[in-house]
Amino acid sequence: MRVPLFALPALFTSVLAADGGFLQSCDINSVSVVNDHYLRAFCRQANGEYLFSEEDLNLCVANDNRKLVARDNGNYGKSCNTCLLSNPATQPDLYMYCTCEGFVSENIFLNRFISNVDGHMRCFGHLSKPIPV
Protein backbone atom coordinates (compact mmCIF):
# COMPACT_ATOMS: atom_id res chain seq x y z
CA MET A 1 0.00 0.00 0.00
CA ARG A 2 1.36 3.39 -0.98
CA VAL A 3 0.69 6.44 1.19
CA PRO A 4 1.01 9.88 -0.43
CA LEU A 5 3.68 12.06 1.18
CA PHE A 6 1.15 14.75 2.12
CA ALA A 7 -0.75 12.17 4.22
CA LEU A 8 2.24 11.16 6.37
CA PRO A 9 1.95 13.98 8.97
CA ALA A 10 -1.71 13.13 9.62
CA LEU A 11 -0.90 9.43 9.82
CA PHE A 12 1.97 10.07 12.27
CA THR A 13 -0.20 12.32 14.46
CA SER A 14 -2.95 9.71 14.74
CA VAL A 15 -0.42 7.08 15.82
CA LEU A 16 0.92 9.36 18.55
CA ALA A 17 -2.56 10.19 19.76
CA ALA A 18 -3.43 6.53 20.10
CA ASP A 19 -0.48 5.71 22.41
CA GLY A 20 -2.14 6.18 25.79
CA GLY A 21 -1.64 3.97 28.82
CA PHE A 22 0.37 6.30 31.07
CA LEU A 23 -1.41 4.98 34.17
CA GLN A 24 0.26 1.58 33.76
CA SER A 25 3.62 3.15 34.74
CA CYS A 26 2.68 6.32 36.62
CA ASP A 27 1.59 6.55 40.25
CA ILE A 28 -2.16 7.12 40.03
CA ASN A 29 -2.20 8.61 43.54
CA SER A 30 0.17 11.37 42.38
CA VAL A 31 -1.89 12.43 39.35
CA SER A 32 -3.38 15.92 39.64
CA VAL A 33 -4.47 18.88 37.54
CA VAL A 34 -2.97 22.24 38.52
CA ASN A 35 -4.20 25.64 37.29
CA ASP A 36 -6.89 23.88 35.22
CA HIS A 37 -4.50 22.68 32.52
CA TYR A 38 -1.28 21.19 33.89
CA LEU A 39 -1.37 17.44 34.43
CA ARG A 40 1.19 16.37 37.05
CA ALA A 41 2.34 12.88 38.03
CA PHE A 42 5.23 10.72 39.17
CA CYS A 43 6.02 8.36 36.27
CA ARG A 44 8.49 5.49 36.13
CA GLN A 45 11.64 5.91 34.07
CA ALA A 46 13.52 3.13 32.26
CA ASN A 47 15.99 2.94 35.19
CA GLY A 48 13.11 2.24 37.62
CA GLU A 49 13.20 5.64 39.31
CA TYR A 50 10.22 8.00 39.23
CA LEU A 51 10.20 11.45 37.63
CA PHE A 52 7.74 14.17 38.71
CA SER A 53 6.66 16.18 35.69
CA GLU A 54 3.82 18.22 34.24
CA GLU A 55 2.18 18.20 30.82
CA ASP A 56 0.35 21.26 29.54
CA LEU A 57 -2.99 19.80 28.50
CA ASN A 58 -3.61 22.80 26.24
CA LEU A 59 -1.20 21.00 23.91
CA CYS A 60 -3.40 17.87 23.93
CA VAL A 61 -7.05 18.74 24.57
CA ALA A 62 -9.67 20.87 22.79
CA ASN A 63 -13.14 22.07 23.70
CA ASP A 64 -15.44 20.93 20.92
CA ASN A 65 -18.83 22.43 21.83
CA ARG A 66 -18.40 21.60 25.57
CA LYS A 67 -16.99 18.16 24.78
CA LEU A 68 -13.33 17.72 25.71
CA VAL A 69 -11.51 15.87 22.93
CA ALA A 70 -7.91 14.80 22.33
CA ARG A 71 -6.44 17.18 19.75
CA ASP A 72 -2.95 18.46 19.06
CA ASN A 73 -2.64 22.06 20.30
CA GLY A 74 -6.36 22.10 21.18
CA ASN A 75 -5.98 24.98 23.69
CA TYR A 76 -9.12 24.11 25.64
CA GLY A 77 -8.01 26.45 28.45
CA LYS A 78 -9.23 29.47 26.48
CA SER A 79 -12.85 28.43 27.10
CA CYS A 80 -12.70 25.96 30.02
CA ASN A 81 -11.81 26.24 33.71
CA THR A 82 -12.44 24.55 37.08
CA CYS A 83 -11.09 21.25 35.77
CA LEU A 84 -11.29 18.20 38.02
CA LEU A 85 -10.16 14.59 37.86
CA SER A 86 -12.25 11.55 38.70
CA ASN A 87 -11.44 9.72 41.90
CA PRO A 88 -8.98 6.96 40.91
CA ALA A 89 -10.20 4.80 43.81
CA THR A 90 -13.70 4.62 42.35
CA GLN A 91 -12.93 5.16 38.65
CA PRO A 92 -9.70 3.47 37.54
CA ASP A 93 -10.00 4.82 33.97
CA LEU A 94 -9.02 8.35 34.98
CA TYR A 95 -11.08 11.10 33.39
CA MET A 96 -11.19 14.89 33.57
CA TYR A 97 -14.08 17.29 33.24
CA CYS A 98 -14.24 21.09 33.31
CA THR A 99 -16.62 23.99 33.16
CA CYS A 100 -16.64 25.10 29.52
CA GLU A 101 -18.62 28.12 28.37
CA GLY A 102 -20.62 28.01 31.62
CA PHE A 103 -21.56 24.31 31.38
CA VAL A 104 -19.97 21.11 32.69
CA SER A 105 -18.11 19.40 29.86
CA GLU A 106 -18.30 15.78 28.85
CA ASN A 107 -15.53 13.63 30.36
CA ILE A 108 -12.25 13.03 28.60
CA PHE A 109 -10.39 9.81 29.44
CA LEU A 110 -6.75 10.88 29.76
CA ASN A 111 -5.26 7.38 29.82
CA ARG A 112 -6.51 6.79 26.28
CA PHE A 113 -4.13 9.29 24.65
CA ILE A 114 -1.40 10.16 27.17
CA SER A 115 1.58 7.82 27.41
CA ASN A 116 4.72 7.57 29.53
CA VAL A 117 8.08 7.89 27.76
CA ASP A 118 10.93 7.32 30.23
CA GLY A 119 9.12 9.17 33.02
CA HIS A 120 7.71 11.94 30.83
CA MET A 121 4.02 12.04 30.00
CA ARG A 122 3.48 12.47 26.27
CA CYS A 123 0.60 13.45 24.03
CA PHE A 124 0.83 14.21 20.32
CA GLY A 125 4.62 14.21 20.63
CA HIS A 126 4.64 16.86 23.40
CA LEU A 127 6.73 15.71 26.38
CA SER A 128 6.04 16.82 29.93
CA LYS A 129 8.57 19.00 31.73
CA PRO A 130 10.30 17.79 34.91
CA ILE A 131 9.33 19.56 38.14
CA PRO A 132 11.65 19.82 41.16
CA VAL A 133 10.28 17.96 44.17
For 70-122, what is each residue's pLDDT tens digit? 999 999 999 999 999 987 666 667 899 999 999 999 999 999 999 999 999 99
Range of the domain at 18: 5-130
Question: Which amino acid is residue 112, in one-letter code?
Answer: R
CB atoms within 10 A of CB 111: 18
- Spell out the alpha helix ranges (H) of the chain: 8-17
Please tell me whether residue 75 adopts helix, strand or coil conformation: coil
- Number of independent structural domains in the chain: 1
Identify the weakest region by mean pLDDT among 5-14, 55-64, 86-95: 5-14
Q: Do the Cβ atoms of 89 and 82 come closer than 8 Å?
A: no
Query: For position 87, what pLDDT does the model report?
Result: 75
The CATH code of the domain that includes 42 is: 2.30.60.10
pLDDT digits (tens, 9 = 90+) for 78-89: 999 999 998 766
User: What separation in angstroms does the CA of 34 have from each of 4, 38, 69, 71, 119?
Assistant: 41, 5, 19, 20, 19
**63 sits in which H/E element:** strand 61-63
